Amino acid sequence: MSAAVLVASELRKDYPMNGETVHALQGASLAINAGEYVAIVGPSGSGKSTLLQLLGGIDTASGGSVQLAGTRLESLSDRELTRVRLTKLGFIFQRFHLLPVLTAQENVELPMSEAGVRRDERRARASELLSYVGLANRAGHRATQLSGGEMQRVAIARALANKPAVILADEPTGELDAKTGRGILDLFRRLSLDGVTLVVVTHDERLAAEAGRVVHMLDGRIVDDTSRVGSGGQLAGGKV
């Protein structure tokens, strides 16, 4: 069994809304091992995205803690947390959020550029990643010239740029039609088979069905946590 790379303990998140306190998360605990493919599912408002944002250090918890490779994210300064997100986490969003003025290649290079990777090195890696997601022939196209599915593939390549420990994806197929979503699904499957640790928030049952472990949430709590294949939750045939 692999060691837990990402651990959430008794996470709580409250925020005010119209004069009342909303309890978005009410003590969620979760340990994700290296190489696991975890789907977080649940109805709207169940706290899935909030949990993902806390796991990714892009929001602060009202209580509890998150540890990434032994480092408590709450103890980090904004600058350190930014650096952790840059180098140890990869993010994929529902709306892709590529920079429209950059080409696919440049979008993938962006996090590496921020991390100080040498130019020739980041170019080579970006090309390699675009090939991996099947977009080598679109490297020189601006983001605005790509289809939704292609943009999401570029976003996946961007998330992988700095060789992160964990990829966090929030509704990655939410903006895509069924056929295009299927392609992204296949890509996630391949990522998992290649040992990438994946945490995916989704409404998409097909995507959840691909995951080795499914975490069900309801009203800010984890109500079910099921590993389908093996104790680690990796897909059968995985290389880990």
Please pick, from the candidates 158, 189, 213, 216, the single residue that binds other proteins as defined by CB under 8 A: 158
Shortest separation between residue 59's beta carbon and other proteins, angstroms: 4
Which strands form 89-92's sheet, in the order they lie side by side?
89-92, 166-170, 198-201, 37-41, 213-218, 221-227
- Rule CB under 8 A: say whether 111 interacts with other proteins: yes
Burial of 141 (0-12, 13-18, 19+ CB in 10 A): middle
Please pick, from the candidates 94, 152, 173, 234, the single residue that binds other proteins as defined by CB under 8 A: 94
| Sequence-ordered strand ranges (E) for the chain | 4-17, 20-33, 37-41, 63-68, 71-72, 89-92, 166-170, 198-201, 213-218, 221-227
As a whole number of Å, the end-to-end CA separation of the chain is 10
Alpha-carbon torsion 227, 231, 233, 236, what sign? negative
- Rule CB under 8 A: say whether 223 interacts with other proteins: no
Shortest separation between residue 136's beta carbon and other proteins, angstroms: 4
Cα–Cα distance list, 46 to 43, 95, 172, 182, 217 (Å): 6, 20, 18, 25, 6
Going by C-alpha positions, the residue among 116, 124, 178, 182 that lies closest to residue 153 is 182
Q: Which positions from 46 to 85 touch other proteins by CB under 8 A, shown as an x/- string? A: ---xx--x--x-xx---------x--------xx--xx-x
Shortest separation between residue 138's beta carbon and other proteins, angstroms: 7
Interface region with other proteins, contact rule CB under 8 A, candidates 45-53, 176-184, 204-212, 223-231: 45-53
Please pick, from the candidates 140, 177, 205, 206, the single residue that binds other proteins as defined by CB under 8 A: 140
Q: Give CA–CA dist 158/108, Å, rounded.
A: 4
Shortest separation between residue 10's beta carbon and other proteins, angstroms: 19
* Token reading at 51: 């949990």
Interface region with other proteins, contact rule CB under 8 A, candidates 93-101, 202-210, 215-223, 225-233: 93-101
Please pick, from the candidates 11, 25, 28, 35, the single residue that binds other proteins as defined by CB under 8 A: 35
In the complex with other proteins, which residue's Cβ is closer, 100 or 226? 100
In the complex with other proteins, which residue's Cβ is closer, 170 or 216? 170
Helix, strand or coil, per DSSP, at residue 111: helix
* Residues engaged in binding other proteins (CB under 8 A): 2-3, 5, 34-35, 49-50, 53, 56, 58-59, 69, 78-79, 82-83, 85-91, 93-95, 97, 99-103, 105-106, 110-111, 114-115, 123, 128-129, 131-134, 136-141, 156-160, 162-165, 170-171, 174, 191, 194-197, 239-240
